[in-house]
Chain A
Amino acid sequence: MATKQTQYLARSLLAPAVGLLFIWMIVPLALTLYFSTLHYSLLDPGSEVFVGLENFRYFLTDPAFIASLKNTLVLVGSVLVLTILLGIPLAMLLDQPVVGRNIVRLMVIAPFFVMPTVSALVWKNLLMHPVSGLFAWLTKLFGLTPIDWFNDVPMFAIILIVAWQWLPFATLILLTALQSLDEEQKEAAEMDGAGGLSSFIYITLPHLARPITVVILIETIFLLTVFAEIFVTTGGGPGLQTTNIAFLIYSQALIQFDVGSASAGGLVAVVIANIVAFFLVRIVGRNLEA
């Protein structure tokens, strides 16, 4: 039985965490909101003027915004498709009896632990360099012309790097889910004459529906704000070809010093992330009841 005293104790133990997170959430957000209504340039301090929704109009009608929104969607979408389409067979493979499975698992998971700046630079230089990279050597070996990854297909190059980083995450979650799939259920299906394909479609896939949803939502949250990989490889270019929303806001704030417009962009990013978060919180919340 919880007495008055333990209730009081419990509340006071919870208070610091709640208080800090509340400040962390509300203060910067309120400031962003405030700045977004000002004409505020760091190059011209002291000249802040209230401009209402002018920054939003400027940010949302800026061709750079449309381009970066498109790039963000392409990046998030492609990485999701790649990691899930490759993650499902990979997880099923690792779920099989494999000699030395633990070592294979370690190799598959490794990319997730590599810091983003390292993965991006190693891929850009050691693998994707148009003259001395390993890919260039391989393509020449087959008699083809090497691809100049970051000039010809810059977005695709970034997609490959980010997908490589997130494939382990998708695989690991799907593998964890597969391992909880009842072996007897699969055997019973096989006894009833279900082949490999139909047992995959009718038993494995439905079982994976929830973990796949979780992968999609969590990856989306992180992929919406991919930054370091772009920062160290293309710097958003050539042109705007690899500028996503996170990078656009960064360059408006810390390169062009346009605080007002960057804040308006920041709020747009918050709104987009919240749409995703809404669904994720609902799924996790349902799990909490069980």
Chain B
Amino acid sequence: MARMATTRRVAVSTAGAWLAGFLIFFPILWMILASFKTELEAFAIPPSFLFFHWTLENYATVQERSDYLHHALNSIIIAGGSTLIALLIAVPAAWSMAFSPTKRTKDILLWMLSTKMMPPVGVLVPIYLIFKTVGLLDSRIGLVFILCLGNLPIVIWMLFTYFKEIPRDILEAARMDGATIGRELVYVLTPMAIPGLASTLLLNLILAWNEAFWTLNLSTSEAAPLTVFIASYSSPEGLFWAKLSAASTLAIAPILVLGWFSQKQLVRGLTFGAVK
């Protein structure tokens, strides 16, 4: 007899799951609501949940007063740049380890993983001093460089696990048919590798966008991405809740959308393939 999901059981688990989901999501929802309130209403006690005067003025003020777009552009350049460079370095490496493994491949992979284990704070002092000496403090190039290296092990690992799943027989068949390495790469491997490449790109963009150790320590204004910009609202004189909420909503919206698309790859990427 197959286990039947009774209507009652579905109703109970549905109610429970929606309640849990709502509670977990609530802080984000509350922030989004606050971004449409006036400053006065955002502070008001008792709080108004839906019936307040909806306004877009916070979004306009955030841009006018603090040049939001400048920091958003920094985030795009830093996250995008570091991801693209990391992919350029990682694709050949992962390809090589997946398709021409040697006795040392496993050791190299584990060593790469271990570089990711190094706490950033352990090398904060030398990196800060090097950056200070060569004038990279508060520069986008410096942050692109650091975030690229910091995420490189994850990128290589993810690509490696995806490439390994490409059946090798297909390559052999292509070679038998006389395909050169170049043709093999363009017509056989690339189409099969695109899904893996896309998810690696997505996960790495998310990680770089939200990175808040190096960005906070190595940038202040010119190169400051959104993480640092939002942090500037922590000073007492900057406590405008509605504006903080508007700036925050804008800062997380794109990544929330990207993240929802990549939830499956998230597990795989962050556990280095240990859980699929």
B43 touches A277 (CB 8 A): no
Residues of B within 8 A of A31 (CB): 123, 125-126, 129-130
Bound: A49/B241 CA distance, A: 49
Contact partner of B149 (CB less than 8 A), chosen from A24, A167, A245, A288, is A24
Quick one: closest B residue to A114, CB to CB?
A: B252
Could you say which of B23-31, B51-59, B60-68 contacts chain A? B23-31
Tell me the chain A residues, 10-40 only, with Cβ under 8 Å from chain B. Answer: 10-11, 13-14, 16-18, 20-21, 24-25, 27-29, 31-32, 35
A205 CB to nearest chain B CB (Å): 16
Q: Which residues of A contact B275 (CB under 8 A)?
A: 173, 176-177, 210-211, 214
Other-chain residue from B31, B112, B122, B272 in contact with A122 (beta carbon distance below 8 A) = B31
Set B27, B34, B97, B274: member contacting A284, Cβ < 8 A: B274
Interface string of B96-128 (1 = CB under 8 A from A): 110110100010111011110111111111111
A47 adjacent to chain B (CB < 8 Å): no
Q: Are B273 and A287 in contact (CB under 8 A)?
A: yes
The answer, among A21, A172, A183, A269, for a CB contact under 8 Å with B121, is: A269
Interfacial chain A residues near B10, Cβ < 8 Å: 96-99
A234 to B100 alpha-carbon distance, docked (Å): 51
Known: A218-B271, A228-B216. A21 touches B117 (CB 8 A): no
Instruction: Choose from B13, B42, B47, B259 the contact partner of A109 (Cβ within 8 Å).
Output: B259
B5: CB under 8 A from chain A?
Answer: yes
B274 CB contacts on chain A under 8 angstroms = 214, 283-284, 287
Selected interface stretch from A58-66, A73-81, A219-227: A219-227
The answer to whether B223 has its CB under 8 Å from any CB of chain A is no
Query: What is the bound-complex CA distance between A112 and B209, given in angstroms?
Result: 12
Q: A17, A169, A211: which contacts B152 (Cβ < 8 A)?
A: A17
A227 contact from B112, B130, B156, B213, Cβ within 8 A: B213
With a cutoff of 8 Å between Cβ atoms, the chain A residues found around residue B96 in the complex are 9-11, 13-14
| Residue of A17, A119, A231 ringed by the most chain B CB atoms within 10 A | A17
Determine whether A46 belongs to the interface, using a CB cutoff of 8 Å to chain B. Answer: no
A153 cross-chain contacts in B, Cβ below 8 A: none
Q: In this complex, which of B127, B252, B259, B275 has the most chain A Cβ atoms within 10 angstroms of its Cβ?
A: B275
Known: A115-B227, A134-B30, A176-B267. A269 touches B152 (CB 8 A): no
| Residue pair A113, B206 in contact (C-beta under 8 Å) | yes
Closest to B214 in A: A227
Q: Which residues of B contact A84 (CB under 8 A)?
A: none
B3 contacts which chain A residues (CB < 8 A)?
A: 183, 187, 190
CB-based contact A116/B99 at 8 Å: no
Total B residues in contact with A, Cβ cutoff 8 Å: 99
Instruction: Please measure, in the bound complex, the distance between the C-alpha atom of A164 and the C-alpha atom of B20, giving whole angstroms.
Output: 12
CA distance A118 to B231 in the complex (A): 8
List the A side residues contacting B108 at CB < 8 Å. Answer: 14, 18
Question: Does A250 sit at the interface, judged by CB under 8 A?
Answer: yes
- The 8 A CB mask of A235-268 against B (1 = contact, 0 = none) is 0000000000110011001100001001100110
26 residue pairs from A and B, CB less than 8 Å apart: A2-B100, A7-B100, A7-B102, A10-B96, A14-B96, A16-B92, A28-B126, A96-B17, A104-B20, A105-B263, A110-B256, A115-B210, A115-B230, A117-B216, A117-B227, A121-B231, A121-B234, A125-B239, A173-B275, A246-B121, A250-B217, A259-B125, A263-B126, A280-B113, A281-B113, A288-B106
**B interface residues with partner A (beta carbon < 8 Å):** 2-3, 5, 9-10, 13-14, 16-18, 20-22, 24-25, 27-28, 30-31, 34, 42-47, 89-90, 92-93, 95-97, 99-100, 102, 106, 108-110, 112-115, 117-130, 149, 152-153, 156, 181, 206, 209-210, 212-213, 216-217, 226-228, 230-231, 233-234, 239, 241, 244-245, 248, 251-252, 255-256, 258-260, 263, 266-267, 270-276
